[in-house]
Amino acid sequence: MKIAVIGAGWVGVTTAATLASLGHNIICADVNVSRIQKLQAGEVPFFEPGLLDLLTEGIRAERITFTGNNRDAITSAEVVFCCVNTPTGNDGITDIKALVAVAKDFARHHAPQAVFVIKSTVPGGTAKKIQDLITEDATLTNHDGGFGIASNPEFLAESTAVTDALRPARLVIGTNDLSALETMKRVYAPMLEQGIKLFSSDCTTAEVVKTAANSFLATRVSFINEVANYCNAVGADPMSVALGMGLDPRIGMMRPGVGYGGGCFPKDVQALLTEAERQHTPMTVLQATHQANYRQRQLLYGRLRQALGDDVAGKQVAILGVAFKPKTDDIRDAPALTFIENLLADGARVVAYDPKVKSRLVREYSGLGWASSALQAITGAHAIVLMCEWQEFVDLDMTTVKKLMAGQVVVDGRYVWSRQTLEELGFTYVV
Ligand code: UDX
Ligand code: UDX
């Protein structure tokens, strides 16, 4: 099938490469010209394991091309996937301006019976709004032959996006009519033949499945973090409690720590909270999830201060891991940034290291030092703060670390080390 993907961000590029691997012909558009040039040169503009290989395969097979012009992509496509960003504003409301603009381009230029697919995360009811907008606006004249609307949210986690896209736990497809559903089934036919589950519904239901699923996953993180705080108070081992609980398949695995960050959980939780408020159905559990997440960062920072004798000024602190999770270079709302800001405000000398995040942060935070290895960051540090569980930090030889440090405080923001081992080595273990 001929398919357009509009928005060549992290979701758009992964979607384009996946659809090409299913045998479709993809034309991918983005307003960002330098991004398109990079992609045309076979480069992925961000780090995502396995994506470069999948994309290269699609380009070599001549199944993916790129353009800076939405119209070029839309005119001959049977299906148009919209993957543009839908940020949450300061008021908590999802900004769908970019999505609306793409929908208008679709309305003007689509082929007869083409389906407009919303992949970006949006509040429940957005597809309906877009459909009304296209149908009712007299200036959008290209309605000959009709069109369909579908909501096909993504459930890709960064660092495993390629596997998540190729072998999803389920395909969620909301449509406004049977013909759009049939088209979407043709798009995903190779996956459906492999037995991947299809959940089909109306568009609004599919939209809510996405935002509620992310909010639920975020709630699990805040829940286990509060359980971990309790464990530390009564002398239970938080990681073991999480493992013990998670063996019940109804609960599943959870990792306690400094809390969630990234481009999705914080934004999606905030958006659902605001939407629920607007519908007069407040979500008090989710409100607590959000508050607990940001409180956790400050609680842990308070414990670091205490371990340093409430005297942070002039102390050298190493931040290990700046990305919001391992195997990505994404720093959106990363807990490490909260620590960097707090430490700099309190007068500490901060040296950060991350295997994938580049030192451009140094320009954004005046006074922040950047190391080219974990050991370099640690050398001379009074405290080390692990914010992201990259394997190379888990594998550090802590005897060597102890020798290189000027102090002995270790903040284990992701429960990767053993309290007992570290205390035996003479560290002050902080969680
Ligand atoms: C985006 C959404 O933010 C998220 O809500 C959704 O779940 C998935 O899609 P992501 O791919 O991470 O996530 O966003 P981003 O990396 O910002 O990429 C969006 C791309 O769309 C950018 O490359 C941007 O240039 C492009 N864009 C934006 C357009 O091509 N046209 C526009 O009008 C606006
Ligand atoms: C998430 C969802 O998993 C994915 O389905 C959706 O499409 C986008 O949002 P992502 O943000 O890439 O994906 O990462 P995820 O692995 O879910 O982790 C999010 C944050 O929660 C990270 O900061 C991670 O460190 C934290 N987390 C996650 C925990 O602290 N403990 C956990 O048990 C799980």
Residue 120 Cα: closest atom of ligand 1: 6
The whole-angstrom separation of Cα 82 and Cα 7 is 7
| pTM, rounded to two decimals | 0.95
Cα separation, 70 vs 93, in Å, equals 26
Rounded to the nearest whole angstrom, what is the distance from the C-alpha of residue 46 to the centroid of ligand 2?
18
Kindly give the pairing relationship between strand 409-412 and strand 428-430. parallel
Q: Could you give the CA distance from residue 337 to residue 186 in angstroms, rounded to a whole number?
A: 44
User: What token pair was written down for 149?
Assistant: 């609307």
Number of the ligand 1 atom closest to the C-alpha atom of 32: 25
Mutate which of 265, 267, 388 for ligand 2? The one with the most ligand atoms within 8 Å of its CB, which is: 265
Sheet order of strands, 409-412 included: 369-370, 349-353, 316-320, 383-386, 409-412, 428-430
User: Is the CB of residue 151 less than 8 Å from the CB of residue 206?
Assistant: yes
Q: Note the maximum CA span of the chain.
A: 75
- By most ligand atoms within 8 Å of CB, the mutation choice from 217, 268, 394, 414 for ligand 2 is 217
User: For 323, which DSSP code?
Assistant: S
**Residue-by-residue pLDDT tens, the chain, 431 positions:** 999 999 999 999 999 999 999 999 999 999 999 999 999 999 999 899 999 999 999 999 999 999 999 999 999 999 999 999 999 888 989 999 999 999 999 999 999 999 999 999 999 999 999 999 988 876 776 666 789 999 999 999 999 999 999 999 999 999 989 999 999 999 999 999 999 999 999 999 999 999 999 999 999 999 999 999 999 999 999 999 999 999 999 999 999 999 999 999 999 999 999 999 999 999 999 999 999 999 999 999 999 999 999 999 999 999 999 999 999 999 999 999 999 999 999 999 999 999 999 888 888 999 999 999 999 999 999 999 999 999 999 999 999 999 999 999 999 999 999 999 999 999 999 99
As a dihedral over the C-alpha atoms of residue 276, residue 278, residue 280, residue 283, rounded to 10 degrees, the angle is 20
Ranges assigned E (strand) in 301-407? 316-320, 349-353, 369-370, 383-386
The verdict on whether 264 is a catalytic residue reads yes
Report the chain's C-alpha Rg in angstroms.
Answer: 24
Nearest ligand, measured from the Cα of 97: 1
Pick from 296, 240, 197: nearest CA to 418: 240
